[in-house]
Structure 1
Amino acid sequence: MDDDFDVRGLHEQLSEERGAKGEAFDQRIALFTAVLATLAAVTSFLGGHTQNEALLHKNEAVLIKAQASDAWGYYQAEDLKRHIAQMEVDLAPPGVDAARMATQRADIARYKARGAALKREATALDARSAAADSDSDEALRPHTKLALAVTAIQVAIALASITALTGRRWLLWVAGTAALVGALLAGMAWF
């Protein structure tokens, strides 16, 4: 009963029609597609790596910026205390206890010194945050080209698959061109 009815798939029919020459062509396409898939996987990994590195630097920039913001807040508090102490000295009526005025002047000097140190710290933290932000931008720079490269390589894989199914050899040239564009974009991402 099984001998009476034979259902063949389109791929089998096309392979038989093309014969050994077509089979060798299909093998070359399969090898070409495997190489492209490997190139796409590596390029995709590199693109993901650039995103992760950029995110790490951006998180560092945000963390340092928060520390700088805290330092600026402490600086403003110290400067406000210095200003209030200075006003007490400047507005003190004649005959105020000299010891109290000496204490106020000592507080003014202490607030001024602490404020200067906090200002230096806040400024340094702002600079570190800006540097980390710049590192983030630099790490992300190749990502767009890598994403476009993966897209071009995926197009090449699709075109190679269509070539294998249809036997249209000219499509392989288009696939090769797309693969070349993808490889060039991947190379350009680092330069």
Structure 2
Amino acid sequence: MEDVTTEHLERREQAEHAAHSGDPLLTKVSVTIAILAVVAATIGSLETVESGIALSKKSESVLLQNRATDQWSYFQAQSIKKNMYDIARIGTPAQAEAYEKKARVYETESEATKDKAEELGRESEALIEAGEHHEKRHHVLTVGVTLLHVGIAVATLSIIMRGRRWPWQASIVLGVIGSAVAAYAYAV
């Protein structure tokens, strides 16, 4: 990824050398390369941000899922205790009332625990979905920035080919398409 980050600087340097040749087309190509490099760097930064957000959301989801798992384990323990008091109530009629009270306490607590576990599970699912949304955005931005880098490379062909127009025009088209793809990442 580091090579991609500095590639636009090399292209800009080549464009600056060409700009000093005095050919007006090469000056336009140089300016185009500089603009494409700035747009590519900006979109590359957005791509990195989206990737970081996706990872963060998914990590938060895992933590919440662990908390939900803990709550489910606690719910099971409470249910077992409730069932043990129900069995004790049947087996020991003399203390049936005391065992009945304890069984109902565990039953009430276990319902609250179950509700909390389900809520944590829903929150975890929501974070997974959010992470996937940012990951998709990251992938679309990757396509956009790649098209911009290809546009920069194609523009340099105009310099190498001593002022041919078609590579420069193609680079502008690639730059527009790459920018449109990057903008689309935020439209979906």
TM-score normalised to the size of structure 1?
Answer: 0.82
Residue number in structure 2 paired with 1:111: 106
CA distances 1:84-107 after superposition (whole Å, capped 9, x unpaired):
2212222x1xxx462x32221121
Matching residue of 1:58: 58
SS state at 2:98 partner: helix
Aligned to 2:6: none
Aligned residue for 1:79? 79
After superposition, the C-alpha distances for 1:119-174 in whole angstroms (9 at most, x for unaligned) are: 11111111111111122122223222110111100011001111101122221122
Task: Indicate conservation of the 8 Å contact 2:57/2:131, yes or no.
Answer: yes
> Percent identical across equivalent pairs?
24
* Runs (5+) with no aligned partner, structure 2: 1-13
Is residue 2:35 matched to residue 1:35? yes
Give the Cα–Cα distance (whole angstroms) in 1 for the partners of residues 99 and 47 of structure 2.
60
Matched with 1:175 is: 171
- Stretches (4+) displaced over 3 A: none
Residue identity matched to 2:185: A
Counterparts of 1:128 and 1:58 in 2: how far apart (Å)?
11
Matched, 1:162 2:146: no
Q: Greater CA radius of gyration, 1 or 2?
A: 1
The question of 1:123 aligning with 2:118 is answered yes
Question: Cα RMSD between the aligned structures?
Answer: 1.8
Separation in 1, partners of 2:60, 2:111 = 25
Distance in 1, Cα, partners of 2:130 & 2:181? 22
- The equivalent residue for 2:96 is 101
AA at the equivalent of 1:151: T
Distance 1:97 1:183, change over 3 A: closer
Q: 2: CA distance between counterparts of 1:171 and 1:109? A: 79
Residue 115 (structure 2) pairs with residue 145 (structure 1): no
Q: Kindly provide the amino acid, as one letter, of the partner of residue 162 in structure 1.
A: L
Unpaired runs of 5+ residues, structure 1, are 1-10
- Amino acid paired to 1:142: R
**Number of aligned positions between the proteins:** 168
On the 8 A contact 2:150/2:174 being kept in 1, the answer is yes
* Paired letter, 2:54: A
Distance 1:81 1:43 in 2: 57
